[in-house]
Amino acid sequence: MYSHVYDALGFSQLGLDDEKSRRIILDVLDLVTQGLSSKPDLETVLRRIRRFKPQVNELISLRLLELVEKPTREQLEFIIYNGGRAVVNEVSKLYKLAREYGREDLISALQYAWSKFGIRSPVQCPKCGFNSIMPDYSCFVCGAVVGEKYIREALGFSEKLRLFIETGSVSELRVAVERGYVLLGEDGVHHPLYKPPKPTLLFQVYLKPGEISTIIQEIDNREQPF
């Protein structure tokens, strides 16, 4: 059974030692035979491996990440192309390795996996190109840190602030002035106490003196008695 499954999974390409291969294959067998009442024959096992290919490959990638300290080129390729969600937690490590091996194609594949399964940020990192700048202004993937100017430009802050000043309530504008900052997201500028209805990345952006005066002006205008 073992050697047939080994071949069916294309394990020779991965260059793993015997012990690691066995451990991973046992896990794969566990996965594909779940829910079967009797011990399945080889035919059934191979059929189920084909049927559950994406889950099987994701499991193999996950185990590779756990068992192998530094994946080889071939292992890295397998993990990035087949790992699905498994690549997200290890994205920094995988990115560094892909760079070390000079594999731009793998970096693109990793970017795709990140956009699909990771915490996709509306702000792209200027260094690694992933959409991975987090609200602390640092990149989740490569660790680069960007400045507030970069965040403002990436998300079109001026236009969004203008809309916020036009449409925000007086109390929302007031709290922005009191705190001296607003929350900037892909969908616009929000007041500092804003709680998004669903999880979304919001960046704290400090207001410049000119922006604060504009907001105060707006509050004054609205409070003018007619």
Among 73, 93, 96, 127, contact with Zn ion (rule: CB under 5 A): 127
Binding segment for Zn ion (CB under 5 A), chosen from 7-15, 39-47, 61-69, 122-130, is 122-130
Residue 145 phi/psi, 5-degree rounding, is: -115, 135
* 24 vs 146 by CB, closer to Zn ion: 146
Residues binding Zn ion: number (CB under 5 A) = 7
* 95 vs 164 by CB, closer to Zn ion: 95
Residue 21 phi/psi, 5-degree rounding, is: -55, -45
Residue closest to 218 by CA, chosen among 158, 152, 164, 160 = 164
Residue closest to 113 by CA, chosen among 126, 137, 95 = 95
DSSP string, 150-175: HHHHHTTHHHHHHHHHHHS-HHHHHH
* 97 vs 142 by CB, closer to Zn ion: 142
Which tokens is 135 given? 């609200």
d(CA 57, CA 49): 9
Q: What contacts 172, CB < 8 A, 6 or more positions away?
A: 164, 191
Residue ranges in 128-187 that form contacts with Zn ion under rule CB under 5 A:
128, 139, 141-142, 144
Among 125, 155, 189, 215, contact with Zn ion (rule: CB under 5 A): 125
DSSP string, 124-144: --TTT--S-B-TTSBBTTT--
The contact pattern for Zn ion, residues 70-109, with x = CB under 5 A and - = no contact, is: ----------------------------------------
* 14 vs 141 by CB, closer to Zn ion: 141
* 9 vs 141 by CB, closer to Zn ion: 141
The CB-of-56 to Zn ion minimum distance in angstroms stands at 31
d(CA 200, CA 184): 11
CA–CA distance from 204 to each of 108, 135, 165 (Å)? 29, 7, 17
DSSP 8-state symbol, 116: H
The CB-of-124 to Zn ion minimum distance in angstroms stands at 9
The contact pattern for Zn ion, residues 9-48, with x = CB under 5 A and - = no contact, is: ----------------------------------------
* 110 vs 161 by CB, closer to Zn ion: 110
The CB-of-51 to Zn ion minimum distance in angstroms stands at 37
* 139 vs 205 by CB, closer to Zn ion: 139
Residues binding Zn ion (CB under 5 A) = 125, 127-128, 139, 141-142, 144
